[in-house]
């Protein structure tokens, strides 16, 4: 006796969403099996998709979770289907029958296409307590190393204290580890940027005021990881008032009994943060949804779904010393 498997598409649904929500493609196939000496004489057989799981996948052509749509349907290779991966296959008997089942297969994709947003920003205010010897604020990051003039507020080398305004900035985006050019993020490359300050103004913050505190990588969904860049803006450019010290480590006082002070920068290194945030991303991070109407040179038109993906795809890479693919 031979078992003959059949699958017929009875429903299809496509849900398009704004990132970070995924786009979704859902198929429903009716699957049944006939058993007999020949296909012409075969009759419906009782089965279930759990006992016959491999037969259903191999013989009825139902995908297993983890496959892309183009893995399952090779005729769609090189199209949008490359970016959709099946997450679930749900079975339900047809009219309480045990010979025919409906398989609902859900595939999702978090790939981003211009002009959709592919980066997300969160800001929070905070304070940093600093020692205050002179009642003076720095005017630029270049003040580092220079002597501080102004009204002395210390008492024989004992400082007052002040809270300096800061803004914590997090930038989040999705990372697709299934991309053949990427794999898991190579954070070794991040050393060229982490623990550095911005060498040029960016995101509305002056040069030298934005500190790159680090990167977090957390699992999101299957092949996708959630990457978060953590920055800190400091209204004092991260500078500190540092007194000159005598050999015994006491402050060196002037003739008026006050400490002699210079601006000290604990984070001396700088980096071009534009290298890790392309122009398209910076537009979204600075302008928000105004960028939807003015995508700029990142793309002139949205890629058609039925055509092969082009450079309009905002897919990022992290390798070598470049954290973000800035080619626009």
Of 87, 253, 72, 222, nearest in space to 158 by CA: 253
What sign does the CA torsion over 231, 233, 237, 239 have? negative
SS3 state of residue 230: strand
The rounded distance, in Å, linking the Cα atoms of 86 and 17 is 17
Q: Identify the helix (H) or strand (E) that includes residue 109.
A: strand 100-109
Q: Which residues contact 148 (CB under 8 A, 6 or more apart)?
A: 133, 134, 136, 241, 261, 262, 263
The rounded distance, in Å, linking the Cα atoms of 95 and 153 is 85
Radius of gyration of the chain (CA): 30
Tell me the per-residue pLDDT of 179-235, one tens digit each, with 9 for 90 and over.
Answer: 767 788 888 888 999 999 999 999 999 999 999 999 999 998 898 889 899 999 999
Tell me the per-residue pLDDT of 46-98, one tens digit each, with 9 for 90 and over.
Answer: 888 887 767 777 788 899 999 999 999 999 998 888 889 999 999 999 987 77
Q: Which residue has the higher pLDDT, 307 or 281?
A: 281
Angle, alpha carbons 75-80-83 (nearest 5°): 105
Check residue 180 and give its pLDDT. Answer: 64
Longest Cα pair distance anywhere in the chain, in angstroms?
A: 111
Check residue 318 and give its pLDDT. Answer: 33
Pairing verdict, β 2-15 and 224-234: unpaired
Tell me the per-residue pLDDT of 152-179, one tens digit each, with 9 for 90 and over.
Answer: 999 999 999 999 999 999 999 888 888 7
- Does the pLDDT of residue 326 top 70, yes or no? no
Q: Which residue has the higher pLDDT, 284 or 162?
A: 162
SS3 state of residue 76: helix
The neighbouring-strand residues paired with 221 are 224
Of 188, 142, 136, nearest in space to 164 by CA: 136
The rounded distance, in Å, linking the Cα atoms of 131 and 311 is 51
Check residue 298 and give its pLDDT. Answer: 47
Phi/psi at 315 (nearest 5 deg)?
Answer: -95, 135
Q: How far is CA 274 from CA 94, 116, 171, 188, in A?
A: 56, 20, 13, 19
């Amino acid at each position: 006796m031979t078992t003959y498997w059949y699958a017929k598409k009875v429903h299809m649904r496509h849900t398009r969403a704004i990132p970070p929500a995924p786009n979704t493609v859902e198929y429903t196939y009716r699957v049944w099996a006939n058993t007999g000496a020949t296909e012409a004489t075969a009759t419906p057989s009782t089965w279930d998709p759990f006992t016959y799981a491999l037969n259903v996948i191999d013989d009825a052509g139902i995908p297993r979770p983890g496959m892309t749509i183009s893995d399952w349907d090779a005729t769609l290779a090189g199209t949008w289907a490359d970016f959709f991966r099946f997450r679930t296959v749900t079975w339900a008997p047809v009219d309480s029958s045990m010979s025919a089942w409906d398989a609902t297969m859900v595939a999702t994709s978090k790939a981003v296409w211009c002009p959709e947003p592919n980066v997300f920003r969160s800001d929070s205010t905070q304070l940093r307590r600093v020692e205050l010897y002179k009642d003076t604020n720095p005017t630029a990051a270049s003040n580092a190393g220079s002597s501080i003039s102004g009204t002395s507020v210390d008492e024989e080398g004992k400082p007052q204290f002040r809270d300096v305004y800061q803004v914590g900035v997090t930038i989040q985006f999705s990372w697709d580890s299934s991309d053949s050019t990427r794999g898991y993020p190579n954070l070794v490359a991040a050393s060229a940027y982490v623990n550095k300050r911005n060498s040029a103004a960016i995101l509305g913050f002056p040069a030298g005021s934005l500190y790159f505190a680090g990167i977090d990588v957390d699992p999101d969904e299957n092949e996708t990881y959630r990457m978060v860049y953590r920055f800190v803006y400091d209204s004092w450019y991260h500078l500190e008032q540092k007194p000159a010290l005598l050999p015994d480590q006491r402050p060196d006082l002037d003739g008026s009994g006050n400490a002699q002070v210079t601006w000290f920068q604990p984070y001396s290194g700088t980096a071009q943060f534009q290298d890790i945030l392309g122009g398209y991303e910076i537009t979204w991070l600075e302008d928000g949804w105004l960028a939807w109407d003015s995508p700029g040179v990142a793309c002139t038109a949205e890629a058609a779904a039925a055509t092969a993906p082009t450079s309009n795809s905002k897919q990022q890479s992290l390798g070598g010393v470049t954290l973000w693919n800035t080619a626009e």
